[in-house]
Amino acid sequence: MEAENIEAIIARIEHKTRKIESLLKQLKPVEALKTALEGSPPNTKDERCKSANWIVVHRAMMAIKDVDGMFSSLDPEYYDILMKYLYRGLATGDRPTCDQCLKIHERLTERAGLGCILRALADTVNTV
Amino acid sequence: MAAVAIHQFAQCITCHAWNADHSMVAFCPNNNEVHIYKLVREKWEKLHVLYKHDQIVSAIDWSLRSNKIVTASHDRNSYVWNQEGTGWVPTLVILRLNRAALCVQWSPKENKFAVGSGAKTVSICYYEQENNWWVSKRIRKKHNSSVTSVAWHPNNILIATTSTDGKCRIFSTFMKDLDTRAAGLSSSNDAKFGEQIVQLDLSFTWTFGVKWSPSGNTLAYAGHNSMIYFVDDIGPSPSAQSVAFRDLPLRDVLFVSDRMLIGVGFDCNPMVFAADERGIWSFVRFLDERKIAPSSSKYSSQFSEAFGKLYGQSKHGMTNDSLDTSRHRRGAHENCITCIVPLRNAGDAAVKRFSTSGLDGKIVIWDLDNLTDATR
């Protein structure tokens, strides 16, 4: 991976961060989550890019208060990628993060089924 | 319920096949034997035990016109069984494999059969009259992993394979002595033996259960990531559809018509997929009626218990009572379905009946009285 390319990805993620902060200020957490998940995973093996993107997704995910409300406006196309980030969240072992991830995981599994979990676990190419 | 007959034959069945008039069934009860049963006055009677393999028989196919059974086994061998008098006489097929044979299928004209193996190869076998011998010709160096399933195109020349390297490939098996070049067909018809027509790179995971539609225009196979792939216009520029579904992955599929497919697998319940008038495939419903609306069935799977424990730790977990109801699986199959076979009457274009077998040792016969019924 060329350094230039990585810089471009980082710049894109930084831009996303600013957009998310402004959406959260406007009390639009679902829009913020959608923005965070867009263009994810960053399509690179570079760990710095991946962590930067995870921080953005994490920020938006933790801002979700009403999980059921979120799912009523989150389109199914985001389900598979959200599931992958939930597992990344669970892997951190951080108490509040895991609590939030489990809460979303339960609702997401109800909606998207076990197939969604399998796709998240089986996809070894688009790592988050 | 669409299941018209359920019979518990063994503890576990690896594969099964029917004779031409569906009066006899051959299956492997998860060991080195093949049992043949016949339906006599509403009761299944064991007629023969084919005993020649040393290890688990992984695949069986029964040719409809020539009445020959071909078996493939983990012992790396294949036998062709001929009915002579009251018994079945095996002929060894020299495959020269160094890994297990995993799948086998007769070609539509029944003059060849294909064996997929763990040795990353497909062997195309044909009969040599002068030596009274089944010879195999190998397609090698194309697969990067085990070949899990093979399917013949109705033209008797093209063969599709799925593999644990995640690819689906299509080869020509043209043999000068056996096949004639049909005039006016696509350019893929000119390919030499073993030539790869196309490699489909849609899945990141193991792929299983490849099948052609009755017309040979559409190809379908399942990925181990709860996806099913439909491919049209096989050739240099195929058009593919990837369909994700909400339940556990499929192991095998069967086209009942060009626009409808049944998938079976780890969800223990056959799933119906259908194409709409624009040709867009989607999941329609489960065939077994115990699961009606997906939204009402919470975690209705083998993993429900584990999930219950996981969620039990979070404050918003469900109560145990709601889990208990889903734990009792009362469908036709109680474990993973690994095999689906059509029960096609001669001359019928569409499959109206088919049978499934799986790890629960049952063979279940399903009836689609009316194809439109299945889509409802």
- Among B301, B314, B315, select the one facing A114 at the smallest CB separation: B301
A58-to-A83, A97, B49, B114 alpha-carbon distances in Å: 12, 8, 61, 51
Distance from CA of B225 to the nearest CA of A (A): 5
B246 touches chain A (CB under 8 A): yes
Q: Would the CB atoms of A115 and B301 count as touching at under 8 Å?
A: no
Total domains in the fold of chain A: 1
Instruction: Output DSSP code: residue B364.
Output: E
Alpha carbon distance B71, B91 (integer Å):
11
The reported pLDDT for the residue numbered B306 is 53
Question: How far A14 CA sits from the closest chain B CA (Å)?
Answer: 30
- CB B341, CB B10: distance < 8 Å: no
Does the CB of A72 have a partner CB in chain B at under 8 Å? no
Q: Which residues of B touch A99 (CB under 8 A)?
A: 314-315
A20 in any annotated domain: yes
Closest-CA residue of chain A to B205: A122
Range of the domain at A24: 3-122
Of the residues B207, B224, B225, B300, the best mutation for testing chain A's interface (the one with the most A CB atoms within 10 Å of its CB) is B225
The interface residues of chain A toward chain B in range 1-60, judged by CB-CB distance below 8 A, are: none
pLDDT at B147: 96
Amino acid at residue number B66: S
- Residue B283 at interface with chain A, using a CB cutoff of 8 Å: no
Q: Which of B227, B311, B315 sits opposite A119 (nearest CB)?
A: B227
pLDDT at residue B175 in the model: 87
**Does A124 lie at the interface with B, CB-CB under 8 angstroms?**
yes
Where chain B has pLDDT below 70, the residues are 1, 182-189, 290-330, 370-376
Beta strands in B13-167 (DSSP E): 15-18, 24-28, 33-40, 43-51, 57-62, 68-73, 78-84, 87-93, 101-106, 112-117, 122-128, 133-139, 147-152, 158-163
C-alpha to C-alpha distance for B174 and B189, rounded to whole angstroms? 8
For residue A68, give the CATH number of its domain.
1.25.40.190
Q: Which residues of B touch A83 (CB under 8 A)?
A: none
Give the distance from residue A84's alpha carbon to the nearest chain B alpha carbon, in angstroms.
13
Does the residue A128 lie in any domain? Answer: no
Say which of A102, A103, A113 has its CB closest to residue B247: A113
Q: Comparing C-alpha atoms, which of A80, A9, A18, A94 is closest to residue B242? A: A80
At how many degrees (to 10) do helices A47-62 and A79-92 cross? 100
Which of B205, B248, B314 lies closest to A114 in CB terms?
Answer: B248
Give A-chain residues touching B311 at CB under 8 angstroms.
102, 106
Judge whether A127 lies within some domain. no
Q: Hey, what domains does chain B have and what are their CATH numbers? A: 7-289 (2.130.10.10)
pLDDT at A127: 81
**ipTM of this complex prediction, to 2 decimal places:** 0.85
B194 CA to chain A: closest CA distance, Å?
30
Angle between helices A3-25 and A29-37 (to 10 degrees): 170
Interface test with B, best of A106, A107, A123, A128 (most B CBs within 10 A): A106
Nearest by Cα to B135 from B90, B78, B192, B82: B78
How is residue A2 written in tokens?
A: 């060329």
Residues 6+ apart with CB under 8 A from B131: none
A108, closest residue in chain B (CA to CA)? B246
Residue-level pLDDT at B347: 72
Q: Is residue A72 in some structural domain?
A: yes
CA B252, B255, B260, B263: dihedral to nearest 10 degrees? -10
* A116 → closest Cβ in B246, B249, B313: B246
> A99 lies in a domain?
yes
pLDDT, chain B, mean: 85
**Chain A nearest CA to B301, separation (Å):** 9
Within 308-347 of B, beta carbons closer than 8 Å to A belong to: 310-311, 313-318
The answer to whether residue A16 sits within a structural domain is yes
Number of Cβ within a 10 Å radius of residue B52? 19
Q: Which long-range contacts (CB under 8 A, 24 or more apart) does B304-311 make?
A: B307/A109, B310/A102, B311/A102, B311/A106
Distances in whole angstroms, Cα of residue A101 to Cα of each of A40, A60, A92, B107: 18, 12, 11, 51
pLDDT tens over chain A, length 128 residues: 556 688 888 888 999 999 999 999 998 899 999 999 987 777 778 888 889 999 999 999 999 988 998 999 899 989 999 999 999 999 999 999 999 999 999 999 999 999 999 999 888 877 88
* CB atoms near residue B43 (< 10 Å): 9
Contact A114/B317, CB-based, under 8 Å?
no
Candidates A109, A113, A119; nearest CB to B225: A119
Contacts of A112 in chain B (CB under 8 A): 246
**C-alpha distance across the termini of chain B, in Å:** 13
pLDDT of residue B114: 96
Does any domain span residue A10?
yes
Q: Does B285 touch chain A (CB under 8 A)?
A: no
- Name the closest residue on chain B to residue A98, using Cα atoms: B314
